[in-house]
DNA sequence: TTAATAAGCAACCTAAAGGTTGCTAGTTTA
DNA sequence: TAAACTAGCAACCTTTAGGTTGCTTATTAA
């Protein structure tokens, strides 16, 4: 089983929350960050943030490393990239569809 | 207020379900499709499918047109495209981040 | 003009999401 | 070594998601 393969729906659902998108934004800057550090600035509890991090982790969007008493998280960019490809694929299928429609109309005319 | 702007989290959350991704796939082929038509082939009820369609609609991913007694749905590709851009933006921020890290390490050496 | 079809509405159920508080156990650091 | 800090675990609560069934209304076709 490929460790990098998570279902598109799982990844999108992990991305489908404002708090989690904000966490991802914060993880984009600088070095890996701890749960406590990431909790600061939100007005919900550390445990709530930890649950959001679990979602991101399960979807393969972040990766934890234990360092001393801290759990440090960093972005796993591959999942973002493959979700992006998934959406590009939809767009291109739609383009093909529109092109087919157009030829169909021209043939009728 | 821009009719085309839906929050990224709302769109991702609409994409975060296997049934809804499957509905999108079906809507990519051919002409606009009715609720009943789209319900066929799933083993959940028409009402359940209708709820999923509501989600997609609220996120701006599909657009309904009433024709006679039927409600026909078609893809609204703009939301897909802008979600795609959102993910590309994340990827590029991550690239910049990695590049910065690299220069930092080289400067130290 | 009656029967079949498409779809809306409402009530209901169960599981999961998103949050809380309280407590415990390992690390650091003063 | 005692105090402070990081984080895990468990129990609980409330709202929402995803699904069901039953019924009504509008439109289309026989």
What pLDDT is stored for residue A106 in this prediction?
A: 82
CA of B69 to C1' of D29 (A): 13
pLDDT digits (tens, 9 = 90+) for B63-100: 999 999 999 999 999 999 999 999 999 999 999 999 99
What pLDDT is stored for residue A105 in this prediction?
A: 82
CA distance B35 to B40: 9
Q: Could you state, in order of their start, the residue ranges of all structural domains in chain A?
A: 8-108
What pLDDT is stored for residue B1 in this prediction?
A: 38
Protein-contacted positions of strand D (CB under 7 Å):
5-11, 17-22, 26-28
Q: Which fold has domain A8-108?
A: Arc Repressor Mutant, subunit A (1.10.10)
Q: Report yes or no: A104 at the B interface, CB cutoff 8 Å.
A: no
Please state, rounded to an integer, the average pLDDT across all residues of chain B: 93
What pLDDT is stored for residue B27 in this prediction?
A: 97
pLDDT digits (tens, 9 = 90+) for B22-37: 999 999 998 999 999 9
CA of B80 to C1' of C22 (A): 44
Return the axis-axis angle of helices A46-58 and A8-15, rounded to nearest 10°: 150
pLDDT digits (tens, 9 = 90+) for B5-28: 689 999 999 999 999 999 999 999
Q: Report yes or no: A92 at the B interface, CB cutoff 8 Å.
A: no
Residue, of B109 and A25, whose pLDDT is higher:
A25
What pLDDT is stored for residue A96 in this prediction?
A: 95
Residues B67, B71, B73, B76: is their CA dihedral positive or negative? positive
Contacts of B9 (CB under 8 A, 6+ apart): A15, A16, A17, A18, A20, A21
Q: Along the 109 residues of chain A, how does pLDDT read in single tens digits? A: 344 568 999 999 999 999 999 999 999 998 999 999 999 989 999 999 999 999 999 999 999 999 999 999 999 999 999 999 999 999 999 999 999 988 888 887 6
Q: Are B78 and B29 in contact, with CB atoms under 8 Å apart?
A: no
Q: Report yes or no: B15 at the A interface, CB cutoff 8 Å.
A: yes
Contacts of A38 (CB under 8 A, 6+ apart): A23, A26, A27, A49, A53, A73
Element (H, E) at B48: helix B46-58
Residues A21, A27, A29, A33: is their CA dihedral positive or negative? positive
């Amino acid at each position: 089983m490929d460790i990098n393969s998570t279902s598109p729906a799982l990844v999108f659902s992990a991305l489908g929350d404002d708090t989690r998108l904000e966490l991802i934004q914060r993880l984009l800057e600088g070095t890996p960050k701890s749960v406590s550090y990431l909790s600061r600035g939100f007005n919900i509890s550390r445990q709530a943030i930890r649950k959001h991090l679990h979602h991101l982790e399960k979807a393969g969007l972040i990766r934890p490393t234990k360092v001393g008493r801290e759990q440090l998280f960093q972005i796993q960019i591959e999942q973002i990239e493959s979700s992006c490809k998934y959406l590009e694929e939809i767009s291109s299928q739609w383009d093909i569809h529109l092109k087919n429609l157009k030829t169909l109309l021209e043939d009728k005319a």
